[in-house]
Amino acid sequence: MDDHQDTNESPTGRENQQDNGSYLQHGFDDHDEAVDKSDEQQVEQELLEEKAQPAAEGEASLHEQHEHAEQEDEGDNHGHEGHGEGHGGMHEGHEQMFRRRFFVSTLLSIPVLLYSETLQEWLGFSVPVFPGSEWINPVFAVIVFVYGGVPFLQMAVPELKDRSPGMMTLISMAISVAFVYSLATVIFPAQSAFFWELVTLIDIMLLGHWIEMRSVRRASSAVDELAKLMPDTAERITDDGETEEVPVSELSEGDLMLVRPGASVPADGIVEEGDSDVEESMITGESKPVSKEPGDEVIGGTINGDGSLRVRVGATGEETTLAGIMRLVEEAQQSTSQTQVLADRAAGWLFYVALAAAVVTAIAWTIAVSFDATVIERVVTVLVIACPHALGLAIPLVVAINTSLAARNGMLVRDRIAMEEARNLDAIIFDKTGTLTEGEHGVVDMATVDGVGEDDALALAAAVESDSEHMIARAIREAATERELTVPDATDFEAIKGRGVRANVDGNKVYVGGPNLLTQLDREIPDHLQRFADKAGQNAQTVVYLVREGELIAAFAMADVIRQESYAVVDALHNLGIEVAMLTGDSQDVANAVADELGIDTVFAEVLPGDKDKKVQELQDQGNLVGMVGDGVNDAPALTRADVGIAIGSGTDVAVQSADVILVQNNPMDVVRLVKLSKASYRKMQENIVWAAGYNVFALPLAAGVLAPIGILLSPAVGALLMSLSTIIVAINAQLLRRVDLSLSTLSETSSPREPQAAD
């Protein structure tokens, strides 16, 4: 690799980052469906344990607990191997459990529906009757209840213990009452039974839970991805000067290790010998490589440049900087607040309403007609009708459509609670490098001596850099390509250690490099080029020079370029009343220049990973609901600490796995899409809850017999029909979410984006 070290620049480390596509595939591919019986039982046990979270920590819903409970005990992951790797496998196991029970229960429900006299009468069909056929309904209904319904009863126990009845309690009450009453009608013949209502209720609830588990399935642990940054082995230097390859776990404080060019640093330590530039952006967030010489500290997990280093180990294992970041990620995950799901809250209210309506119904009918089978039938009808078929699907259907719609628009949703919270964000923090900026340096300005045109100078520099893979070389070549310049051929290319490169172009010896190159060539800088270089330095830009046949003829200013979309996203968020902040490990001058260019409200510069986490907390302590947008390992703690963590999809695996939402298209404007979709989805959830609850407001009084004196009495069959109608309305309303317009042209009222500028 050629040298431009005097410019203090190096690749941003993207070449060393893992392909993000592996995460996308890993996190969302279908799990192996062949889960054995013992695995299924283990999944069910985990599900029930997750459900039993203390009510003192908030009335968290069942589905929210699925998302967060396993974070409270990272050490138990070894017990989940049968369900996949880490958290993703656990949630996939839950999904497969509900899926399997739904299909089996639905299949077993078919005979019950066929032999239901009510459905036969409504639909005008008949089925063969044979000796014993009268037992088809009760027998198959019992099987469906035990296989598909009992899990709901088990999950209702913690709600009752916590005195916070919710969806599970309401479902359990309805299916239990319908089950007991229907069995009683087999022994004590009554006007009607609820076998077909019972099985369809269980089927629909299993379907709702399957849809929801599928939409909230999480990928594998971010902590595991952090650990992958550390190499497995290290080269330890023995007392006789030889090297030996040993596992990193065998390194001890005080050991001397050799770090070869391009290798990962195995542990934190102090450089004892050698000079090199070390890429630390994945740890510190600094976009420039850091020059290391004897006496300087290095961090485990960072990438060495093209020089060899001998490093004395100062910290290993849990004491390293990377381990500290891992602990921050875990802490942030565990401290994530739980949010009540609207449907579960509504179910809790409906539980008490249903009980009250049942009691009033029993008393009123007993007074009116005395206590008999009619009274029992009225009470049972009220309790069964109160069970929310529609309410059970109101949220999962919207979530499933929301997730699908988001994916088609370049957003992968890993945490639906965070997606719902996005509508309420007060402030959004953006990482600078690779998020608001391109993350790769470009030519942002140039100056030439009299008689030399800018295009000629740029084409000549591109010719010299034609064989180099250095970041600055790529930037010069790309600038020449953008101007559609004809680049001459170069020969005799040579890298000059620590200074630059040279080559022969059209018979002339041409050099490209930084200030150290001019020192070696003993060349003075003309006044107007010196003024150009001074201005670039004030803007935190890097300057490289072009020398032809000993004459300095041009200077190029290099800087990280602001994304064209960044202007529009800041303006759009301001239009939505959201404060925009920027968080970066770069210098204050660089950060202020970017913030001034974009109109950003708050700037946090020269911030280390631990402080990034604290800065998010700082805004949260001010009462703000905070979103964080980042793309690197150094952003992981802040992403998980934020109320809504948003990862740019081209970032590192750990960044996308620490986030709640991943922007696959690498377009920060998708943050505005996220907020708009969140608002639209929440609105649909509210509408669906109104439809679902509205059915109960209408049906419960009729089932109780309020209009019985005028001859209007809601029968169980008609109640079931209304219940189905409510479910259909909810489903159609959820589908209308697909009509929300997320095109870029409608996301803001701003004018066309400005031309991209240097991130200076």
In this structure, is the dihedral angle defined by the CA atoms of residues 387, 389, 395 and 400, taken in order, positive or negative?
A: positive
Q: How far apart are the first and last CA of the chain?
A: 27
User: Could you tell me which residues are beta bridge partners of residue 315?
Assistant: 268
| Torsion angles phi and psi, residue 426, rounded to 5 | -95, -30
Residues in contact with 325: Cβ distance below 8 Å, sequence separation at least 6, in sequence order: 226, 283, 609, 610, 633, 634, 636, 637
Q: Residue 245: helix, strand or coil by DSSP?
A: strand
What secondary structure does DSSP assign to 430-449, as a single string? EEIIIIIEEEEEEEEEEEE-
Nearest partner of 440 among 465, 468, 462, 471, judged by Cα: 471
Using CA atoms, how far apart are residues 171 and 509, in angstroms rounded to an integer?
A: 83
User: Of residues 203, 277, 431, 670, which has the active-site annotation?
Assistant: 431
Identify whether 613 is a catalytic site residue.
no
Tell me how far the alpha carbon of residue 691 is from its chain's centroid: 30
Nearest partner of 261 among 208, 306, 314, judged by Cα: 306
User: How many Cβ atoms are within 10 Å of 363's Cβ, its own excluded?
Assistant: 11
Q: Residue 18: helix, strand or coil by DSSP?
A: coil
Using CA atoms, how far apart are residues 26 and 656, in angstroms rounded to an integer?
A: 12
What secondary structure does DSSP assign to 282-351, as a single string? HHH--SS-EEE-TT-EE-TT-EE-SS-EEEEEEE-GGGSHHHHHHHHHHHHHHTPPP---HHHHHHHHHH
Quick one: tokens of 595?
Answer: 């913030």
Using CA atoms, how far apart are residues 537 and 553, in angstroms rounded to an integer?
A: 19
Q: Which residue has the tokens 């018979």?
A: 507
Using CA atoms, how far apart are residues 3 and 496, in angstroms rounded to an integer?
A: 6
Using CA atoms, how far apart are residues 289 and 280, in angstroms rounded to an integer?
A: 6
User: Could you tell me which residues are beta bridge partners of residue 560?
Assistant: 441
What secondary structure does DSSP assign to 161-221, as a single string? HTT---HHHHHHHHHHHHHHHHHHHHHS--S---HHHHHHHHHHHHHHHHHHHHHH---S-
Using CA atoms, how far apart are residues 309 and 524, in angstroms rounded to an integer?
A: 34
455 burial class (0-12, 13-18, 19+ CB within 10 angstroms)?
middle
Element holding 256 (H helix, E strand): strand 256-259
**SS3 readout for 547-565:** EECCEEEEEEEEEEEECHH
Using CA atoms, how far apart are residues 607 and 588, in angstroms rounded to an integer?
A: 10
Question: Beta strand 243-247 with 233-237: parallel, antiparallel or unpaired?
Answer: antiparallel
Nearest partner of 625 among 673, 669, 678, 588, judged by Cα: 678
Quick one: tokens of 275?
Answer: 């000079």
User: Could you tell me which residues are beta bridge partners of residue 494?
Assistant: 502
CA angle 412, 416, 420 (to 5 degrees): 110
Nearest partner of 460 among 549, 537, 523, judged by Cα: 549
Which residues have a catalytic role annotated?
431
